[in-house]
Amino acid sequence: MVSPETLNATEVEIVDAPVRQSAQWDYKVEQQPLFANGIETRFFANVRTDTGEAFGIVTDRYKVMQNSELLGSIEETFQSRGLGKSVRKVMVTQGGARVHANYRFDDIGFKVGNQDIVFNLRVQNSFDGSLRVALAVGLFRLICSNGAVAPLDAINLTKKHTDALSLEFAGGAVDNAIENFHRTAPMLEAMARTRLTDIEGHKVLNGLVVRKELSERQSDEIRDIWNAPTHREDSERNLYNLWNATTQHLTHTVSGKKFELADRINRNVTQTLGRSAMAGSVSSLMVDALAPRKPRTPRITLN
């Protein structure tokens, strides 16, 4: 097993974020017995040892998967598969209850036009029972460092949450994830072939707001990027570049403070735009205009 001290094959990017969201992943969680009327029950609390915060109540069938064990094992798997160097970024949310480790592999990828899309692999863990120990496939555009989770099902790393991580089983999951990554290429290519006018791009964003996949405020900020692209490669008017405007906003503006929100929106929007492009039905997403926003009720302060 690789210890935390030897996890130097990858680079860790520290993110300045609120206390409930941080990059500090190397903490321990232990199961402490719960008592009722002075009698020990069959239930345990998963407790973070450095802060004393309890994340969830479980039975003795639940075995904690420490972050150091999980990341050490998965990086061993990368080495055994000869995947080469990766760049790692870890995000801890809910005060440590959930952990998301992103690994970017610049040597594994494909092109959409002349742009490089590289393999990004998410490893997730939780101590409150909210997430399976699993892998999720990600997409990373090198030109602008935009990331997104592909609309594919997560791949279990353990056969049950109570099982120890099997390197052989995890190796198969990694192989499967790479295959799934390459299967996303036709979806992005279909987006790039889907031409849009400036106005049609706005209408698609309106449709995403109506579908409740974006808020109006988020759509406004994405419109600004769509109207004046940061990168010349995004000057073409197509669904792929509208998707890039969305991932740029979510990756660089939202994720630093609200990682899980950005991740959820990214996944949903990618799935919606990808499906419409593959089906040739992007016009069904378009909404001419949004209803006027309701004025905010003034807040009254009593002295």
**pLDDT tens by residue, 27-83:** 999 999 999 999 999 999 999 999 999 998 988 888 888 999 999 989 999 999 999
CB 150 within 8 A of CB 180: yes
Token pair in block for residue 213: 């996949």
User: Nearest to residue 68, comparing CAs of 90, 95, 94, 45?
Assistant: 90
Residue 300: alpha-carbon gap to chain centroid: 39
- The overall average pLDDT reported for the chain is 87
Token pair in block for residue 232: 């010349």
Amino acid 5: pLDDT? 35
Cα–Cα distance for residue pair 85/100, rounded to 1 Å? 19
As a residue count, the chain comes to 303
Token pair in block for residue 22: 């941080």
* Residue 218, amino acid: Q
Amino acid 105: pLDDT? 96
Token pair in block for residue 136: 């999720």
pLDDT band at 11 (very low <50, low <70, confident <90, very high): very low
> CA-CA distances (angstroms) from residue 189 to 70, 147, 273?
34, 17, 12
pLDDT band at 160 (very low <50, low <70, confident <90, very high): low
- pLDDT above 90 for 208: yes
The DSSP element (H or E) to which 30 belongs, if any, is strand 29-36
pLDDT band at 6 (very low <50, low <70, confident <90, very high): very low
pLDDT tens figures, 164-196: 566 677 888 899 999 999 999 999 999 999 999
- Bridge partners, residue 92, by sequence: 22, 99
Q: What is the reported pTM?
A: 0.82
Amino acid 17: pLDDT? 39
Antiparallel, parallel or unpaired: β 155-156 and 134-141: antiparallel
Dihedral sign for Cα atoms in the order 177, 178, 184, 186: negative
Average pLDDT over residues 246-252: 94
Percent of the chain with pLDDT over 90: 66
Does residue 196 sit in helix, strand or coil? coil
* DSSP assignment letter at 132: -
